[in-house]
């Protein structure tokens, strides 16, 4: 989600429902960095809420390629495809760092929805936001070259997952070039090429500690190169 569901948007926009206000606590399970929550061989019938840490959700393409669906953070849900109870699923969720999550079975979620329908409205809003995010990404695949796709992806991650520093730059976790390539839909080498170029041009810095993005300048670059 681009917007946290608990945030009140400006002006005319009605406040979104907060799903956390309607969900009973569940027990907390911990996953170590790199540990798998579910995959195609061990599909899940749960919907998960992140309490601490980050989760990477991927699709496995026919040719074995991983495609990163998204990175989720505290107060965000994942695993919603369990609601369809499909026999065959190509999705995989992995902890990107040490992560704590709560889980509810889809049957539990459906029971809670019947008692507290506002939870359903909250979940619907989250899913609508996700479909909008995915269509943004499809738009970028349709009209942007790889440099612009990478730039948009970095800006989006910085808006979702970054923290703003005093000088206006935004600091993010050190996403690997491989992960970025699996999100942008290109090779690791090409991501490294453009990350170097963006660094030389002063739009970002990166090291093993993290990525620092000069977001406003980077957004200007996107506009000027349209």
Query: What is the rounded distance in angstroms from the CA atom of residue 16 to the CA atom of residue 220?
Result: 30
Q: Nearest approach, Cβ of 112 to a copy of itself (angstroms)?
A: 9
Nearer CB in complex with a copy of itself: 91/170: 91
**Main-chain phi, psi angles of 29, to 5 degrees:** -115, 140
Place of tokens 């699709």: 59
Residue from 21, 30, 86, 199 that binds a copy of itself (CB under 8 A)?
86
What is the rounded distance in angstroms from the CA atom of residue 106 to the CA atom of residue 104?
6
Nearer to a copy of itself, 62 or 167 (CB): 62
142 scored as a contact of a copy of itself (CB under 8 A) = yes
Q: What is the largest CA-CA distance in the chain?
A: 56
The pairing of strands 210-213 and 66-72 is unpaired
Question: Does 80 help bind a copy of itself (rule: CB under 8 A)?
Answer: yes
Question: Rounded distance, CA 17 to CA 121, Å?
Answer: 7
Cβ 116 to a copy of itself shortest distance, Å? 8
Q: Which of 20, 51, 83, 147 binds a copy of itself (CB under 8 A)?
A: 83
What track of x and - describes contact with a copy of itself for positions 207 through 226 (by CB under 8 A)? -------------------x
Residue 164: strand, helix, or coil: strand
φ, ψ of residue 223 to 5 degrees: the values are: -65, -45
Binding of a copy of itself by 185 (CB under 8 A): yes
At closest approach, how far in Å is the CB of 206 from a copy of itself?
22
The answer for residues whose C-beta is within 8 angstroms of residue 137's C-beta and 6 or more apart is: none
Residue 131, CA distances (Å) to 125, 126, 137 in order = 10, 9, 10
Positions in 48-67 near a copy of itself (CB under 8 A): 59, 61-63, 65, 67
What are the phi and psi torsion angles at 147 (to 5°)? -60, -45
Q: Does 7 bind a copy of itself (CB under 8 A)?
A: no
> Nearer Cβ to a copy of itself, position 106 or 169?
106
Binding site for a copy of itself (CB under 8 A): 9-14, 16, 59, 61-63, 65, 67, 69, 80-81, 83-87, 110, 113-114, 117-118, 120-121, 123-125, 127-132, 134-139, 141-143, 182, 185-186, 226
């Amino acid at each position: 989600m681009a917007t946290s569901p608990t945030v009140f948007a400006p002006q005319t926009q009605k406040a979104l429902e907060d799903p956390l206000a309607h969900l009973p606590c569940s027990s907390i399970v911990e996953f170590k960095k790199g540990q798998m929550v579910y995959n195609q061989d061990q599909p899940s019938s749960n919907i998960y809420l992140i309490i601490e840490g980050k989760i990477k959700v991927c699709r496995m393409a026919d040719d074995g390629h991983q495609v990163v669906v998204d990175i989720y953070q505290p107060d965000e849900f994942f695993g919603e495809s369990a609601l369809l109870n499909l026999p065959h699923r190509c999705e995989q969720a992995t902890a990107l760092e040490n992560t704590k999550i709560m889980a509810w079975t889809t049957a539990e979620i459906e029971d809670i929805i019947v008692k507290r329908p506002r939870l359903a409205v909250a979940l619907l809003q989250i899913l609508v936001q996700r479909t909008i995010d995915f269509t943004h990404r499809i738009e970028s695949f349709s009209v942007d070259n790889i440099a612009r796709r990478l730039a948009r992806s970095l800006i989006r991650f910085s808006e979702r997952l970054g923290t703003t520093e005093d000088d206006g730059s935004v600091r993010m976790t050190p996403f690997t070039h491989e992960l970025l390539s699996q999100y942008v839909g290109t090779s690791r080498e090409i991501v490294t090429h453009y990350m170097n170029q963006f660094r030389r041009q002063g739009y970002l810095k990166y090291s093993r500690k993290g990525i620092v993005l000069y977001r406003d300048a980077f957004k200007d670059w996107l506009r000027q190169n349209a």
